[in-house]
Structure 1
Amino acid sequence: MKAYSVWPHIHERARVELAKEDSWGGLKGNEQLRPEPNPSKKAFFDQLELMNPALRILAPIRISQGAKDQRIRADFTRTLHHQLAALNGPVNVTYKEYEEVSATHDPVELGFHFGLMDTDLPSLTRWLEERFADVEPEAPTASPR
């Protein structure tokens, strides 16, 4: 099993380094687990199923994605977008993908992941303002002393 060869990395590398091709990031999902059925494997897939964010959500949903993000792959996010749109209606799910994002201190490893925040901020702010345009702010209340 290929996972055994990279197991020592969990004690030697940071999370971003574990995601590299020469470590856990280079393993396919089925290379990380024993091939035969076992209780640990079942528990793992049960937990993954519980983590699937494709749910019925009663609030507007907005997803931003860097097309070249190496940490969160765009094809997975596109799949989630389609699942959420099917569950919640396409008008309730906004998806914005960026071919380029703001530069960061680490453009190779994490640039598209963290650069997305700066790039998307103006668009996200407008989206939020549109949703709250008709909401009257509550008057502040005096705090008890």
Structure 2
Amino acid sequence: MLLTSIDPFVQEFDRQFDRLARQTLGWGQGDTRGAMPLDGVRRKDDVLLKFDLPGADPDSVEVTVDRGVLTVSARREEEYAEDDRLFVRERPMGTFTRRVYLSEHLDSEKIDAAYSNGVLALRIPVLERAKPRKVEIHKVSSSEQKSIKA
């Protein structure tokens, strides 16, 4: 028989923490509010990262690399006229940041970035030493083989 104690304080804390995390990070119910969704594709010669930044000011988009960490930041702000009355707001505003750890096999010195239709695409080349390569096999004739005596 498995015995567990139930602490209502701990249960309530966990429930509230989960609720706060979902609201802040946009987890749950299939939505990604508050987050910067990312797709990553490994191709033969590079890695392609695509970040969704709908409504972000293109001039606010910033990409930096520091000690193997790629940071993408963007700002989305919307101004309303003095007589506008906002009655619902579901789209998060402000500055959004996403950090991605880059493998040592990627050339962070040669990142190519393009922003179009609310999508930031980053192409990061794979270093030559990390690319798959064929290893040549040398054939040894039977007369060249040395026998091992135990």
**Higher strand share goes to which structure?**
2
TM-score, with structure 1 as normaliser = 0.23
Q: Relative contact order, CA 8 A, sep 6+: which one is greater? A: 2
From the CA coordinates, give the structure whose radius of gyration is larger.
Answer: 2
